[in-house]
Amino acid sequence: MSQTLNQLEERLQYRFHDAELLRQALTHRSHSAANNERLEFLGDSILNCSVAAILFRRYGKLDEGDLSRVRANLVKQQSLYEIAQTLGVSDFLRLGEGELKSGGFRRPSILADTLEALFGAMYLDGGFDAAYAAIERLYTPVLEHVDPKTLGKDAKTLLQEYLQGHKIALPQYTVIATHGAAHNQQFEVECTVPKLDIKVGGSGASRRAAEQAAAKKALEEVQKMPALAKPKAEKSAKAAKKRAAKAAASEAKKAGQMSTAQPGDAREPKDAKDTKDNKDAKEPKDTRDAVTGAGSVPAMTASVSNGAGRTAAAPAEKSAEKTAEKTDAAKQPPAAA
């Protein structure tokens, strides 16, 4: 028994200081009262915390909702069951006789619970860092093949998102048949995507299960179509190139119009003309009269000045004539007596 536990420790890559913790983690409640249920409770919390930290560091761009969705799918029973199978945990289980006969060592719930109990035992034996390191080693290969954007989403959701991303109408689900008794019915559902001419069927124990099965087949058919498989980056690059070409053509057209325009064709902008008209219309009448009167003042002043000059020159002419007459009289000889 001791050698067997050493093999499990090698697979876990962790050596227990207290071997009794390891035995208790492997003991089912059907075996004895000293079972792994309390360790399972503790290990569940250690697992959730460790996986949350791993995802937080690994996916820096995922928001809280996506991180929660991915974590929930990594710590669910099916995921733990698959990891327990890779470790061969079923070979080390301690089960009661009833569970052994019923094949309990193959039951997913028992294997998943036992793996959580092992994480709890590691925490008590070596601390959180030891448990975290073991969990990270076990989950690293799983995360290498996980798409965080799709993990945890059902087939109907993935199909809907895929079609919406390509601007295609949502699929239609139709129940085409039901079989069996009321307590054990089997549903047959047809899923159609009219635009892509896709029509597939699925069956299940419930209508929802049948729709999921049909959606999964439809998604597989849609993803096979090469016309829809173009990456978004390629589409964005083509759209950007098209916009750049359109802008260049517009600039060339404007340049051509400017080169063909004549210099004499330049006209006063309509807005400037309207502004000028509005200014003239709003100018007060008194102001215009004042401007007109001011312009006529110089002409009137010039006229008055000329008249005054002529008035001043008349007496001077008369005085000169009298002086000339006196001079002529003095030159004449005196008359004989």
Neighbours of 168 (CB within 10 A): 15
Q: Does 197 appear as a known binding residue?
A: no
Cα 43 to Cα 114, 236, 254, distances in angstroms: 9, 47, 72
**Catalytic-role residue among 9, 10, 44, 91:** 44
Contact indicator for 135, 51 with CB cutoff of 8 Å: yes
Q: Running DSSP on this structure, what letter comes out for residue 27? A: B
**44 catalytic per annotation:** yes
Instruction: Give the active site residue among 18, 91, 116, 136.
Output: 116
If you ran DSSP here, which 8-state letter would residue 203 be given?
A: E
Q: Is 116 annotated as a binding residue?
A: yes
Reported as type and span, the H/E element at residue 175 is strand 172-179
Task: State how far the Cα of 44 lies from the Cα of 117, in Å rounded to an integer.
Answer: 8
**Cα angle at 182 between 180 and 185, to 5 degrees?**
45
How buried is 171 (Cβ within 10 angstroms: 0-12 exposed, 13-18 middle, 19+ buried)? buried
* C-alpha closest to that of 198 among 229, 173, 233, 161: 173
CA 124 to CA 27: how far, in whole Å?
Answer: 17
Nearest 5°: phi and psi at 63?
-85, 180
Spatial separation of the C-alpha atoms in residues 223 and 162, rounded to whole Å? 9
The annotation status of 113 as a binding-site residue, yes or no, is: yes
Catalytic center residues? 44, 116
**Which residues are annotated binding-site positions for Mg(2+)?**
40, 113, 116
**Which residues are annotated binding-site positions?**
40, 113, 116
